[in-house]
Amino acid sequence: SQQGEEDPQALSIQEGENATMNCSYKTSINNLQWYRQNSGRGLVHLILIRSNEREKHSGRLRVTLDTSKKSSSLLITASRAADTASYFCATDARRGSTLGRLYFGRGTQLTVWP
Amino acid sequence: DGGITQSPKYLFRKEGQNVTLSCEQNLNHDAMYWYRQDPGQGLRLIYYSQIVNDFQKGDIAEGYSVSREKKESFPLTVTSAQKNPTAFYLCASSIISGTGLYEQYFGPGTRLTVT
C-alpha cells in the first residue's frame, strides 16, 4: 500500500499565483521528500525535510512538515508556466527491514496557465 | 556526465516474449531501484538492490526478475508471466545512509508497450 497520498489530485492556476499541494502519510518517518515529474520524464528531487524539521525553503519552494498530523505541504510561490508538472511526495517510513526504499503517493498534477 | 541512463526510451514487444530493460548509473551509488508507473498513478516499487549480488522484492515483483552483477548496472526483465506489462518503467539510484537521509536519482524512463 502507498504510504503517501497527495491532495488535490489536480490543481490549475494562473501564472503568478501560489500553488499549494498537501501530502498525508500513515506511519512514522525519518524524512519526507518531494519530487517533480514532467510529462513522460523521470522524477527530479526537489527537497527533503527531516522528521525533526518543521519548515524548509529552497528558492520558490516552501515545505512544511507536521509529524503530529502526519502531513506535509509543498508551496510554490509566484508560479510559472514551466512549473507545470506532477508533484509527488515520498516517505521512507520507519520500518527496519525496509530501510532504503521510498513510498510514493499518486501525485498532484499542477497546471499553470500563462 | 554523471547520471543514470535507461535504454531504450520506447520498447515494443509481442505478448509472450520476455524483454529486458537496461539501467546504468555512474554515480557510484550502492542502491538501485525499479518502479512501474501507470497513467495517473504513483510509482510502485518492483525490485530494489542495496548491494551487488543482492536484491529484494518490492510491492509488485510478480512477473519480473532482476540481477545485480555490477554496482553500476541493474537490468529488469519483464517476463511473459507479467499479466499487464504495458507501462512506464523508471530506474533510480541512491546512496545508502543509516539515517535514511538520501534522495533518489531517476533515469528518463522506458515506455514499454506489449501487444
Residues of A with Cβ-Cβ distance to B48 under 8 angstroms: 100-101
The tens digit of pLDDT for each residue in A66-83 reads: 999 999 999 999 999 999
Q: Which helix (H) or strand (E) holds B12?
A: strand B10-13
- Cα angle A27, A2, A41; round to 5: 130
Q: Is B27 on the interface with A (CB under 8 A)?
A: no
**Residue B99 amino acid letter:** T
Nearest to B63, CA basis, from B88, B84, B42: B84
CB contact under 8 A, B43 and A88: yes
The tens digit of pLDDT for each residue in B28-40 reads: 999 999 999 998 7
Instruction: Name the residue with cell 510514493.
Output: A104
Which cell numbers in the block locate residue A84?
507545470
Helices (H) and strands (E) in chain A, counts: 0, 11
Instruction: Name the residue with cell 497527495.
Output: A6
Instruction: Read off the pLDDT band of B41 (50, 70, 90).
Output: confident
In whole angstroms, give the CA distance from residue A108 to residue B105: 20
Over 70: is that where the pLDDT of A33 sits? yes
How many Å lie between the alpha carbon of B80 and the closest alpha carbon of chain A? 25
Contact present, B84 and B27 (Cβ < 8 Å): no
Over 60: is that where the pLDDT of A98 sits? no
Q: Tell me the average pLDDT of chain A.
A: 91
Q: Tell me the average pLDDT of chain B.
A: 92
